[in-house]
Structure 1
Amino acid sequence: MKLSEHFDSNEFACKDGCGANQVEPKLVEILESVRAHFGKPIIVVSGRRCAKHNSKVGGAPKSQHLLGTAADIKVNGVTPKVVADYLESQFPDSYGIGRYKTFTHIDVRGYKARWGSN
């Protein structure tokens, strides 16, 4: 199902094939803004996860991925540090931003959270 101009629910589907693919509209809106800013496609590395898959990949027990409020992303041709820095500049007082070596985590939790370094 088409969620926005550039994103489809299949991109957020749980990787174990269970069918979970619900995603918070605000998250999709943020990803559209990231795509527009960089002018490049976004790869959703991990979106919605069921509890079984979350456990299998070592996700946090209360991961935002379980709620469909998080995405781990890559932007073609842009380092994860630059992506995280941009997100931080846009949302300095809200949401979850995780910095990893090969991807950036963004979630729309109701409070500010930061972790990782790159």
Structure 2
Amino acid sequence: MYDVKVYDRNTEANRQLSPHIQVHEVACGDGSRPVFISQTLIDILENIRVHFGAPLHINSGYRTVSYNASVKDSSPKSQHCSGLAADIWVEGHTPAEVYAYADQLLGNHGGLGIYNTFVHIDVRADKSRFDYRT
């Protein structure tokens, strides 16, 4: 069901996953070599980038289990650890705008969370929505 592929951060960092997204942008913040990422997730992120016509920034994509454990308030069952999630923001657009458009794209599946400065998007099978704004 999931279309997760693995890339090598050392040899494929600049490989285009879509017209606007490269491997290094979704790689784990700990510098680990393998990068696991869902092509469905990449396609959704690319759609968001094109829709808004502005740079899309990925705060966090794939995470190793050990790196995920170091991220404040992260879930031990995080979709990031399976290559199914990204935390993003789009230049010139509010998280609410990005969330609303992503909700249209995901429909009755996937995870979507809104924070004060970014949006969490994942491509899990079931539907989950959450609001962590303060």
Asked whether the 8 Å contact 1:20–1:49 carries over to 2, the reply is no
Asked whether the 8 Å contact 2:44–2:105 carries over to 1, the reply is no
Please state how far the C-alpha of 1:91 moved relative to its aligned partner: 2.3
Name the count of aligned residue pairs: 118
Question: Separation in 1 of the partners of 2:117 and 2:63?
Answer: 19
Please state how far the C-alpha of 1:41 moved relative to its aligned partner: 1.1
State how 1:1-118 maps to structure 2 within 5 Å: 1-58=15-72, 59-116=74-131, 118=133
Q: For structure 1, list consecutive stretches of 5 or more residues without a partner in the other structure.
A: none
Q: Given residue 42 of structure 2, which amino acid in structure 1 is its aligned partner? A: V
Q: Given residue 90 of structure 2, which amino acid in structure 1 is its aligned partner? A: V
Q: Given residue 39 of structure 1, which amino acid in structure 2 is its aligned partner? A: G
2:67 alignment partner, SS class: helix
Question: Separation in 2 of the partners of 1:89 and 1:45?
Answer: 22
Question: Separation in 2 of the partners of 1:19 and 1:102?
Answer: 28
2:112 alignment partner, SS class: strand
Q: For structure 2, list consecutive stretches of 5 or more residues without a partner in the other structure.
A: 1-14
Residue identity (%): 42
Q: Given residue 87 of structure 1, which amino acid in structure 2 is its aligned partner? A: A
Q: Given residue 64 of structure 2, which amino acid in structure 1 is its aligned partner? A: C
CA deviation string 1:17-62 (max 9, x = no partner)? 1123221000000011101110111000000000111000031011
Higher-Rg structure is 2
Please state how far the C-alpha of 1:90 moved relative to its aligned partner: 2.5
Asked whether the 8 Å contact 2:28–2:63 carries over to 1, the reply is yes
